[in-house]
Each structure stands twice: as C-alpha cells, then as structure tokens.
Structure 1
C-alpha cells in the first residue's frame, strides 16, 4: 500500500500513522479506487500525508480536504 511505503520516511508515531492510514483508506473508498498500484492511489497518499502534517487530526476531515484539494468528485 503506497501510504505505508511513503510514511517510512516521515517521523510519525503509531497514532499518527493510523490516523493517516484511516484517512487514506476512507479516501480510496469514497473515490472507488480499488487498485492500490494505480498511480492515483500514490497521489492520494501523498496528499493525505501533506494534509496530515498541517495539524488536522480527524481522518474524515483529512480525507474530505484531500478530495477537495485534488479536485476529485
């Protein structure tokens, strides 16, 4: 899964990793992205990590902001 690979290089604790992983999974579900090898999945993971580093804590809010910022339906 792209988000775990990307998070290996980010100094985060287990709670933060879980929060971002939850936001990532929720975003993929909302957007119906099933193939984790799809370049869109990695693009989403990067955006989730970027937003998570702004201090936003709620996975649903992180997901909603990622969808909004990516301009995806």
Structure 2
C-alpha cells in the first residue's frame, strides 16, 4: 500500500497514520481505484499527505478534499 511506504520515515503518531490510511482508502473507493499498483494510487497517497500536513485531521474531510482536487468533475 503506497501510503504506508510514504509514511515510514514520518514522525506521525500511530493515530495520525491511521487517519491518513482511512482517508487514503476512502479516496481510492470514491475514485474507483482498485489496483494498488496503479501509479494513481501513489498520487492519491501523496495528495492525502499534502492535505494532512496543512492541518486537516479528519479522515473524511481529507478524502473529500483529495477527491475534489484529483477528480474535479
């Protein structure tokens, strides 16, 4: 799973990591991305981390913002 690999070196708490993982999975579901090897999944993971580092701490809000930024339909 791309987000875990990206979070390995971070200084996030286990709770923060969990929020990022929940947001990542929710975003993948909303964007209908199933294959975790798809390069788009890496893009989603990076976007979740970017948004989370701006201060957003709610997994559902993280996922919603990521979806809007990645799929503006």
In the superposition, the TM-score normalised over structure 2's length comes to 0.93
Alignment of 1:20-35 (within 5 A): 20-35=20-35
Q: Figure out how many residues of one structure are paired with residues of the other and give that number.
A: 73
In the superposition, the TM-score normalised over structure 1's length comes to 0.93
Specify every segment of 5 or more residues in structure 1 that has no aligned partner in the other structure, as ranges: none
Specify every segment of 5 or more residues in structure 2 that has no aligned partner in the other structure, as ranges: none
CA deviations over 1:12-59 (Å, ceiling 9, x no partner): 010000000000000001111000000000000000011011111111
Q: RMSD of aligned C-alpha atoms?
A: 1.1
Following superposition, which runs of at least 4 residues in structure 1 exceed 3 angstroms of deviation?
none
